[in-house]
Structure 1
Amino acid sequence: MKLSRNAGLAVLGLATALSLSACNNGEDSAQAPAAKTPSSASPSSSGGGSSPDSGSGSGGAQTGSAKPGSGTGSSSSSGAVNGGAESGGKTTFCKTEDLAVDATNAAPDQSSGRINITMVNRGSATCSATGFAGVDIKDADHTSNPIERGQAQPRVTTLKPGDAAVFDLAYTIDGSGKSLAHPTNILVTPPNETHTVSLTWPAGAGAIKGAYTDVQVYPTHTTN
C-alpha cells in the first residue's frame, strides 16, 4: 500500500509539473506579438508617394511650354503679300472682253520671224496686262499646238483706258518652201485670264522652220 501511494504521488507530481510547463509556454507565446507591435508603423511613415506626383508635375510644365505650329502663319501671310504685289495691290487684271486684240507680221528680216500681238484696253478702268499670254497655234490639219515661253522676265504692264500692250511670237523663217507647218489661227488668252480669242495668222508672215515647239512667246510690255 505504501508503494502504491508513493507511485500515485509521483504521478500527480509529474502531471503538475507538465501543467505548469504548459502554462509558462502559453504566456510566452501570448507576449511574443506584443513585442513586434512597433514595426506596424513603418508603412505609414513612408513618404514615397509624394515623389512621383512632383515628378509628373514638372513633366507637365515642360510639355505646356511647347508651342507647335507657331511659325506656320508667316508663310501664309508672305504668300498673300506677294499676290497683292503681283496684281499691284489696287489694279485688277484686264479681262478678255475689255481688250481689242490684233496680230500683225513684224519680221525684221527674211530669216527672223516675228508676230506682234497688240491688246488695247477698251474698258472704262485701268487694268494690268502683266505677264505671259497663253498662246496656241492652230494648223490647217485642225490640230492646236501650245507655244512655249521665251527666256524673259515680265515687266509691269498697266493699261489705262485706250492704252495698248504688245507681246510677240518669235521663230526662225523657213525659206526652203518645204515647211511642214501651215498655221491658220493664233489662239490668245490674255495674262491671268481664261477666255480666249482667235486671230487669223497674219498674211505675209514667213513660214515656220521646224515644228511649232520652235516658236516662243514673250511677255507683254507697253508701247509707250
Structure 2
Amino acid sequence: MRVHKVTIAALAVAAGLSLTACQNGDDSKGESAPSSASSPAGGSTGSAGGSSDGGSGAGSSDQGGGKDSAGKTSGGQGSTAGTGSDTNSKTGKCRTADLQITASDSTIDGDDDLSVAVTLKNTSGRNCSISGYAGVDLKTNAGSLSAQRTGQEPASGVLKNGESVAFGITYPANDSGGSGVRITGLLVTPPDETRTVTLNWPGAATLPVTEGGGSPVKVGPIGSAGQGG
C-alpha cells in the first residue's frame, strides 16, 4: 500500500507542475497580445496620413499632390489651379455694360460725306474682345433709319481695360435747299449684343430726302475710325 500512495503522490505533483507550466504559457501570450495589436494600428495611421510622419504627411499631400493608392501621380490643388488659369486666360466679349459709348462729329473739310465717330471705352476692369459691326440707327422725325454696313472686313482684337476703339458713321450733307429729314438721336448696339445705348446726335441736323430704297447712312466696322487710349 505504501508503494501505491507514493506513486499517486508523485503523479499529483507532476500534474500540478504541468498545470502551472500551462498557466505561465497562457499568461505570456496574454501579455504579448496588446503589443502585436498596436502594430497594425500604427501602420494604419501612417497609411491614412500618406506617410509615416502622420499629420505632416497628410498636409503635404493635400497641398501639393502626391501618389494615390494606384501609384499614379495626382495634381491635387495644382490641377484645379491649372484649369482655372486656362479659363481666366480666355478673354470674354465686350458687353454693353462694359463700355462707355460716346459720339462726336469727325467731319473733315473737303470730304464728300459727313462723318461721326463713335468711341467705345472699356471701363469693365478687365480686358475684353470686340470685333465686327455695331448696330446703328438714327432717330428721325420720319422714323428710325438703320445704317448700312460699308462691307469692310472687320478685324478682331482685344480691348484692354481703360482703352478705347472707334468706328465711323458716314452720311450725305443736305445740300438740297429743303428742310430734309431731321435727326433727333443716335442708337448704338455693340457687336453681338442686344442692349442699345441712346446718344445725342453730334453731326449735321438733317439728312437729304432720298427717293427709292436703301439708306444714305453707312457704318464701318469696329476700328474703322482709329482708336485711342
Shorter-chain TM-score range: 0.5 to 0.7
CA contact (8 A) 1:92 1:128 kept: yes
CA contact (8 A) 2:181 2:206 kept: yes
Shift of 1:181: 1.6
- In structure 2, the residue matched to 1:123 is 124
Q: Which has the larger radius of gyration?
A: 1
1:127-153 per-residue CA deviation (whole Å, 9 max, x = no partner) reads 112110011111124x21211111201
Percent of pairs with identical residues: 35
Per the alignment, do residues 157 and 175 of structure 1 end up closer, same or farther by CA in structure 2, a change over 3 Å counting?
farther
CA contact (8 A) 2:182 2:205 kept: no
Query: What SS does the aligned partner of 2:215 have?
Result: helix
Matched AA of 2:207 = I
Matched AA of 1:153 = E
CA contact (8 A) 2:174 2:180 kept: no
Equivalent-residue separation in structure 2 for 1:168 and 1:186 (angstroms) = 13
Equivalent-residue separation in structure 2 for 1:134 and 1:121 (angstroms) = 18
CA contact (8 A) 2:146 2:217 kept: no
Shift of 1:206: 6.1
Query: What SS does the aligned partner of 1:97 have?
Result: helix
Shift of 1:90: 2.2
CA contact (8 A) 1:173 1:206 kept: no
Equivalent-residue separation in structure 1 for 2:91 and 2:131 (angstroms) = 11
CA contact (8 A) 1:98 1:123 kept: yes
Work out whether 1:219 is the aligned partner of 2:221: yes
- In structure 2, the residue matched to 1:113 is 114
Query: What SS does the aligned partner of 2:181 have?
Result: coil
CA contact (8 A) 2:183 2:205 kept: no
Shift of 1:210: 4.2
Work out whether 1:136 is the aligned partner of 2:140: no
Query: What SS does the aligned partner of 1:152 have?
Result: coil
Query: 4+ residue runs of structure 1 moved beyond 3 angstroms?
Result: 209-212
Matched AA of 1:128 = S
Equivalent-residue separation in structure 1 for 2:179 and 2:94 (angstroms) = 36
Query: What SS does the aligned partner of 2:97 have?
Result: helix
Matched AA of 1:223 = Q
Matches within 5 A, 1:44-193: 90-109=90-109, 111-141=112-142, 143-193=143-193
CA contact (8 A) 1:175 1:207 kept: no
Stretches of structure 2 that go unaligned for 5 or more consecutive residues are 1-88
CA contact (8 A) 1:167 1:218 kept: yes
Between 1 and 2, higher relative CO (CA 8 Å, sep ≥ 6) is seen in 1
Shift of 1:176: 3.2
CA contact (8 A) 1:100 1:120 kept: yes
Stretches of structure 1 that go unaligned for 5 or more consecutive residues are 1-88
